Amino acid sequence: MLLLKVENLNVYYGAIHALKGITLEVNEGEIVTLIGANGAGKSTTLKTISGLLRPQSGTITYNGEVINGLPAQAIVKKGISHVPEGRRIFPNLTVMENLELGAYLHRSREGMKKSIQEVFRRFPRLRERQKQMAGTLSGGEQQMLAIGRALMSRPKLLLLDEPSMGLAPILVQEIFNIIKEINEQGTTILLVEQNANMALSVAHRGYVLETGRITLTGSAAELISSEDVKKAYLGG
């Protein structure tokens, strides 16, 4: 079933034309990855879907409903949660407060407690550090917190922007295992990565973005074996 459809999206930063008519689809239950070089427009795509940016033209349909133009808080409420590039946790708030803010729109005590326990089960290290200021966590822990915080709103669709950025290889593997697990438990994922290898290893399908345009799309297997992708993103 089609969960998200982005059609002919054009986004500008002032005079800079960052997205030049991109179209993509995400079906329920999938991991879809959006790969591309630095500056291709990956983050811009996610920010537009989550309502941080407004498109000049084009439509974003989620669950059969047009959502572009809605404020970000209305879009979270509909079940789209965005883990932004660079994690953007609140460094001067405790780990617990960060998680609570993730459930800002779902504040019933019981539901909140349950969500927090689920996040702690998935990320036991966050439980140990719940009273610590989030800024004192290591990079990997901060990424876990960012993902955990996004899961607090119980999203149907999770947007992940470069979750592996700046992490040691062993942590990258751990984060991708978690992404897979979250997906297997029923959350649809749109994953943005520069680490194409890793992204294609967990994704079902992918899109290649180059300077604001989708240049290639296919199943993860097709993209991994594509000569163009190999040359540009897989180092050979």
Partner 1 sequence: MAGFLQQVINGLSLGSIYALIALGYTMVYGIIQLINFAHGDILMVGAYIGFFAVVYLKLNIWWAFIIAMAGASLLGVIIERVAYKPLRNAPRLAALITAIGMSLLLENGGLMILGTDIRSYPVGTITNKQLPLSFLGIQLTATTLQLLILAVTVVMMIILQYIVHYTWTGKAMRAVSYDRDAARLMGINVDETISVTFALGSAFAAVAGILLGLYYNTIQPLMGIMPGLKAFVAAVIGGIGLIPGAMLGGFALGVFETMVSGYWSSKMRDPIVFILLILILLLKPAGLLGRNNTEKV
Ligand X SMILES: Nc1ncnc2c1ncn2[C@@H]1O[C@H](COP(=O)(O)OP(=O)(O)O)[C@@H](O)[C@H]1O
Residues near ligand X, by CB under 6 A: 13, 16, 18, 36, 38-44
171 binds partner 1 (CB under 8 A): no
Among 7, 37, 52, 70, binds partner 1 (CB under 8 A): 52
Is the CB of 56 or the CB of 225 nearer to ligand X? 56
45 binds partner 1 (CB under 8 A): no
Q: Which residues pair with 13 in a beta bridge?
A: 16
Is the CB of 85 or the CB of 222 nearer to Mg ion? 85
Q: Which residues pair with 61 in a beta bridge?
A: 5, 66
91 binds partner 1 (CB under 8 A): yes
107 binds partner 1 (CB under 8 A): yes
Distance CA 180, CA 160 (A): 12
Among 25, 28, 100, 174, binds partner 1 (CB under 8 A): 100
Residue for token digits 């947007």? 159
Render 112-142 in DSSP notation, one character per residue. Answer: HHHHHHHHHHH-HHHHHTTTSBGGGS-HHHH
85 binds Mg ion (CB under 5 A): yes
Which parts of this chain interact with Mg ion (CB under 5 A)? 43, 85
